[in-house]
Each structure stands twice: as C-alpha cells, then as structure tokens.
A and B are shown apart, each in its own frame.
Chain A
Amino acid sequence: MEALILSRWQFAITTTYHFLFVPITLGLSIFVALLETCYVRTRRPHWKAASRKLVKFFGTLFLINFALGVVTGIVQEFHFGMNWSEYSRFMGDIFGAPLALEALTAFFLESTFLGLWVFGWKKLSPKLHCACIWIVALGSNISAFWILVANSFMQHPVGYAIENGRAVMTDFPALITNHYVLGEYSHAFFSGITTAGFVVLAVSVWKVLHDESSRYAFTQTVKAGAIFMLIGLFGAMGSGHLHTQYLAQANPMKLSSIEALWETADPAPFAIVADIDQSARRNDSEIAVPGVFSFMLYNRPTGAVPGINQLQAQAVEKYGAGDYIPDVCGLFWSFRIMIGLGGLMMLLGFVTLFLAHTGRLTQKPFRCWLRFLPALLPLPFIANSVGWFIAEAGRQPWIVVGLQRTADAVSPNLTGGEVWLTLIGFTLIYLVLIIAALCIALRYIHQTTITDEPAAERGRD
C-alpha cells in the first residue's frame, strides 16, 4: 500500500516537473524557428545582426529548458516499468507501440537536429541551419502527439480487446484517430504556444525596462511574444471548450466532477464557487448560474447533465462495488484556477501589446506596473500543472478508465522503503537542477545585450 501511494507521488512529481519544460519546448522551438526564418529572409540591413542575436538569445533559453526536459523525459519512460510493472504488463501491447514510435519518429529527430543546430552555425548554409530548428520543432510536436495517443487510451480506451487478462491492440488506426487525442494534443499544443509566448513576453519586458541599449530589439519581441501568447490562449480556449463538450460522451464522471454536479440536472447550472463535501457527496453551499453548464456543453440553455451520484450508481452496476468518484474538490478548483489564469494572461497580453504598439512601455505609470510582469511568470506553469491534474486525477480510481485500477497497476516487488528512497532522491535532484538552471538563465538574460547602432537610432524616433 505504501509503495502505491509513494509511487503515485513520485510519478506526479516527475510528470509535473517534466511538464514545466515540455510546453516551453513545444512553443519556443516554433518561436525560435520563426525568428530564424525572419533572420534568414530579412533584407533590412539594420535588422539582420540584431535578429541573429535574438535567435541565439532565445535559442539559448530554449536549450537550457530542453536539456532539463530531456533528462526528466527519460525518467518518465523508465517509470512505467520501474513503478508500474503490472500496468506495463496489462497495457504493453497497446501502450508500448506509441512509446517506441515516439523514440523512433521524434526523439532521434529532435536530438540529432538540435545538435546540428547548436554546433552547425558555420558548417551549414543559413537555410539548412534554419531548417534544422524547424525539424526540432516538428520532432517536439510529433513526440507530444505520440505520448498523448498513449495518454488518450488511458482516458478513453478504443481499438482494443481483452485477451487472457491483458488489453491487446486490435485497431491501430483507431488508436491514433481517437477523438480524445485531438482534444489533448491541440490543447497541449496551444498551452505550449501560450507558455512560450509568456516567457518571451516576460523576458522581453524585463529587458526593455532594465537594459536601455537592448530596448529596440526587445520591444519587437514584446509584441511578438504577446501575439504568440494570445494566439495560444485563443487556441487553448477553443480546444478546451470543444474537448469539454466531447467529455460529455467520453468521460462524464470527470466532467461532472469538474463542475461538482452531484445530482443529474436539466438544465444544469454552472457553479462559480462551491463548498464541496466529498464524503457526504453534496455541496454544502454554492453560487451557481442556472443553465450555463448545459449551454457550455450543448450550445443551448437546456439539456440534461448526469450527476456524480447517478454516475457512481451506474459504475457500481457495471464494475461492482467501489468508489468511482475522483477528487471532486481538487478538480473543481483546478478547473477554475486554469480558466481564471487563462483570462488573466489574456488581459496581460492585450495590455502589453497595446502599450508596446503605441510605444508606451517605458512611460511613467505603465513602467511601474510592467516591472511586476516578470514576477507573474509562474502563471502559465500553474495553469499547465492544474490542467494536467484535471486530466490525470479526473480518471481516478482508474489508471485505464474502465479496464485497470491504479491500485492494481503498481509493481508488486517494490517496498515502501525503496520508493521512499527514490522519491526523495528524485525530488532533491529536481530541486537542485531547477535552481541551477534558473540561476544560469537569469544570469544569461541579465548579461546579454542586443545592441545595433542603426536599430537603436530607429528606436528613439
């Protein structure tokens, strides 16, 4: 039992930590690729040198992030066998394929072409060099696609049969065209764009305010970062909305838990805040807007949404006695935090874009406010983490919804002591690494200046 709880904590810590870096990789690789494309294609002489320096600047931040993403990714892959061997046995016929394909189609691309990109500035032609970073961006996204194919199966199994107590693959195309993949991938992709956009925005604003000589170049990236982030936010909003509508068929228990809707309702209200009592299976009090939940799901103000208690009764009928309700309180508030942060980032994006566009970034009242913007850098990361909490905690008590319980998936030979040791070990090393990486990244941001004489002149008029 102890090994189970600890293994869950270890996996949660590793995934959350890993997913601090993944979205930056997904988004920033595309951002750097776009920047380099601008550098290769631009014919404005005053912009050529500066844009090359910008590519290197954001490229370096990308590399520091990427290194940590890679090393924690290996831990992730090993964890399935180390801590979850019964899961690997039960699911290996299906789950192993996307993982192996991820390595073959994505990891090789990313690692090889990133090496070429970093060390090939003088060895490759500018166009070929630029192509390398595009291939890295492509590889990162292919990687995200495969791992989300695997995750989607856990959330919503398709194309399988149960033979001799194991899940076996019967339809590979169904696995990759699982509607769930579309929702998860598009949402992860746009979260990546959002996160990278926010990183670019925060770093650029800091440079504009604190480093006068680099002001012109970084004013450009403030705009670019804000636009990038806004695209990501709109995409994340749209994909999130469509995915939620799809959840109504694919995983109603998760959906109703997110909304803390205990009893079936038609039309279903949307609770803005609720005092949730999981053990009594009801909300002690709530502030709700009538009909909005139905409207979000069905685009009309009516329509029944099944309540958690009814779904629990159905599940007991189908799978036998047990508690099939996930952590409602955690899901409910995670969802609201995610939405709230999305709205806040959108506001910040529009405001900074407007200020940068009208040249007011360094004017008096705004200047003071913008000083706080870099301190808000954790926002997209919190939004990403609670988003994954919703996805993963929302399928509990299942590891594969309807097929295998998390409690049955853990490696039987592990002792609590062993997992304690590794849990503490991994956590400590993660802490040391992120501190080292942050220090280096901050120092690098601080020390790099991107001056360009003609550009600086243009910046003054």
Chain B
Amino acid sequence: MDLTILWFILITVLFTGFFILEGFDYGVGMLLPFLSRRDEDRSQVLMTIAPVWDGNEVWMITAGGALFAAFPHVYATMFSTFYLALFLMLVALILRGAAFELRGRSQHACWRRAWEAAICFGSAVPAFLWGVAVIDLLKGLPINQDMTYAGSFFDLLSIYSIVGGITFLAVFVFHGATFLSIRLQNTGLILRARSLARVWGIIAAAAFVLCLLLTVFSTDILTRPAAVGLLVLAALLFIGAYIRLCGRHYVSSFVLGALTIACTTVGFFAALFPRLMVSSLNPAYSLTITNAASTPYTLSIMTVAALVLVPIVLIYQGWTYYVFRHRITPDDVQEHSY
C-alpha cells in the first residue's frame, strides 16, 4: 500500500482514539460543576478521570505530531489558519491541565470552585472548537496557491461550523455522562448524570441531524457514499446509545457512544480523502496526501515506528484502565486527599 494512504489511515486512527478518550474526559469536565453541590461528590467525579486524562490528551499531541511528520504542509497550514482558535484552545487546555493538579491541593471552597470552573471551561472550549475545526475542514477554507490561509478569524465561524461545535460539545457531554455511570458507585450521582445525559442527548441528536443536513448541502459528501453511510450509521448508533441509557444499560450505552464517535471521525476522514484541507478558492489548491506529504524515506521510518509503538502504547494504556477498573468510592477520594 502507498505509504501516504497508510498515514492517512493512521492519522484517522489517532484522531479516533483522541475523540473517544478525550471525549469522555471533556464530558466529565463539562458536567463537573453541575452534578452535585457537595464537594466530596465532585471529587469523586474528578477521580474517575484523574489517573487517565493526561494519557488521553497525549492522543491529541500524537495526532498533531503525526500530522507534522507525515503531512508537514497540513500541519503548517492548519495550525496557522486556526491561529486564534488554537490560542483559545491552548489557554483552555493550560487551565484545565493545571486545574487537575492544583484543585485538590487546598481545602478552601473558593479555590476548589475556581479550578472546577477552569476544568469546565477548559473542557467545553476544546470540545466546541474541535467541532468547529472539523466542519471548517470539511466545507473548505480560503487557502491560496501557496497553501496559505487567506481569510480572517471570523471566516472560521459560520452557522454551519457553530452547529458542528455544538454537536461535538453535546455528544461529549453525553459520552462523559455514560462514562461516569460506569465508573462511579454513588447511585445519586449516576442518576443525576443520567438525567443530564438525557437532556444533552436530545440536543446532540438534533444538532447532529442538522449538521448532517448542512453537510449534504454545503459539501460534496453525496459523491462519497462510504462517508454518508458512516455518518448515518453514527446517527443510528447514537440513538441506540440513548435508548440503552434510558433503560439503564450503562455499559452498552457507553460502548455505543464510543462507536458513534468512532464512526463520525472515520466518516469525516472518508469525506475528506484524499484531501486533508479543502480549499474553497480552487479545488487545485487543496492540500492532499500527495502534495502535502513527507518524503517516502521519512514516511517509511515513521511507519516502522508507528506500527511497533502504537500497539505497545495500547497495551499499557489498556492495562491502566484495568488497574483503575473499580468504581470510585469516597474512600478513594480520602486516600488521595483529592
């Protein structure tokens, strides 16, 4: 197989892993302030992701690094195009990352509340912005013949991309709530998460359908039946996840939610292939796996590295989830004075 195609697939895999894993992290972060008035309860909520969130975030960093190594032009154009959006995202991620460490280090209610707000903000902003970015990439951006962005910050925002942002945000909230329901022991908290998930699930479904319709009208997706099929499948899986949640079958609801995200991500990349960034000025200016790729030599080295290392990473990350498989109890919070 051509290495550029393999790397397109690997990038898809990395983003899929990122959205599934960080999806529930962001979701838990966004739900955090709204689940309970009791500080101990919110500590338990945070404990569900505390040991793993950083490892999950590395999926995003690796996806960025892989873009840089395999498709440097895409990395260069994408990151400079989304300059201010990425600045916002970085501010959010900085606050969020620091908050996980600093919140538990003081007992002051104000201090803890402030960092919880930082976690909520730091989860909502990237969730929303990734949705906006995905839609912008799908519908195309004013990229000129030098592969340089020729628009402004506000060209990144449209009704369509904002709907995309809301879709991502709502799906992640739902995903976070189902994750909490399989990781917490406190039934009250689970029920609260479930009732929030029922509301956000409806919002997510509505936004998803709207987004799908807008995609049909604004992009060339109809020429790509595989992409359409995957996105429709994602919608069906999400309905399944919602029904299972209402019936209190949390594990299957979580798995179906994860599959929804996976299908959406793969569908998104299928809609792009073989392009990575679409130019709205001229289709010939689009960045593709051919004109944006690294040399075959670099790709072959990176291929060996990725094929050896990614399975190892999956094994030890999987083992971490196995070690922390027990539901979180108040004792866990006590033990780590979290």
Q: Give chain A's interface residues, CB within 8 Å of chain B.
A: 63-64, 66-68, 70-72, 74-75, 77-78, 80-83, 85-86, 88-89, 91-97, 99-105, 107-109, 111-116, 118-124, 163, 168-170, 172, 411-414, 418, 421-422, 425-426, 429, 433, 436-437, 440, 443-444
Contact = CB atoms under 8 A, between A and B. Distances in A.
Interface of B: 50-52, 54-55, 57-58, 61-62, 64-70, 72-73, 75-84, 86-87, 90-91, 93-95, 97-98, 100-102, 105-106, 146-150, 153, 294-295, 297-298, 301-302, 305-306, 309-310, 313, 316-317, 320, 323-324, 335-336
Contact of B90 (A66, A78, A111): A78
Contacts of B54: 70, 111-112, 114-115
Contact of B105 (A80, A101, A109, A444): A444
Given A99-B69, A115-B55, A172-B301, A71 B94 contact: yes
Interface of B is mostly: helix
Contact of A120 (B81, B97, B323): B323
A96 B102 contact: no
A71 B98 contact: yes
B94 A111 contact: no
A104 B62 contact: yes
A121 B70 CA distance: 39
Contact of A85 (B64, B76, B301, B310): B76
Q: Which of B51, B61, B106, B153 has the most CB of A within 10 A?
A: B61
Contact of B320 (A80, A86, A104, A116): A116
B294 A92 contact: yes
A88 B76 contact: yes
A440 B148 CA distance: 44
19 contacts: A64-B102, A67-B97, A71-B94, A77-B64, A85-B76, A93-B298, A96-B294, A101-B302, A104-B65, A104-B309, A104-B310, A107-B58, A108-B313, A112-B52, A115-B54, A120-B51, A414-B80, A426-B91, A443-B106
A91 B54 CA distance: 29
Given A85-B79, A93-B72, A112 B95 contact: no
Contacts of A85: 76-77, 79-80, 148
A74 B55 contact: no
A154 to B, nearest CB: 15
Nearest to A440: B105
A124 B72 contact: no
Contacts of A170: 297
A412 B76 CA distance: 11
Contact of A96 (B72, B317, B324, B335): B72
A170 B106 CA distance: 53
Contacts of A124: 323
A66 B102 CA distance: 12
Nearest to A119: B51
A11 to B, nearest CB: 14
B297 A169 contact: yes
Given A92-B68, A172-B301, A440 B106 contact: yes
B302 A169 contact: no
Given A64-B102, A429-B91, A169 B68 contact: no
A411 B73 CA distance: 12
Given A80-B68, A108-B55, A413-B81, A92 B76 contact: yes
A86 B76 CA distance: 7
Q: Which of B62, B83, B323 has the most CB of A within 10 A?
A: B83
A157 to B, nearest CB: 15
A365 B80 CA distance: 59
A104 B313 contact: yes
A63 B101 contact: yes
Contacts of A109: 316
Contacts of B77: 85
The 5 tightest CB contacts between A and B, nearest first, are A92-B72, A81-B79, A96-B69, A96-B68, A67-B101
A93 B295 contact: yes
Given A63-B101, A64-B105, A101-B305, A88 B83 contact: no
Contacts of A108: 55, 58, 62, 313, 316-317
Q: Which of B69, B93, B148 has the most CB of A within 10 A?
A: B69
B62 A78 contact: no
Contacts of B91: 425-426, 429
Given A168-B298, A169-B298, A170-B297, A437 B98 contact: yes
Given A92-B68, A170-B297, A103 B58 contact: yes
A124 B102 CA distance: 25
Given A88-B76, A103-B58, A119-B50, A436 B83 contact: no
Contacts of B148: 85, 412-413
A383 B223 CA distance: 60
Nearest to B338: A119
Contacts of A94: 298
A67 B81 contact: no
Contacts of A429: 91, 94-95
Nearest to A428: B91
B51 A118 contact: yes
Contact of A418 (B83, B101, B335): B83
A379 to B, nearest CB: 25
B102 to A, nearest CB: 6
A375 B65 CA distance: 39
Contacts of A68: 98
Contacts of B302: 97, 100-101
A400 to B, nearest CB: 14
Contacts of B69: 92, 96-97, 99-101
A440 B294 CA distance: 45
A422 B301 CA distance: 35
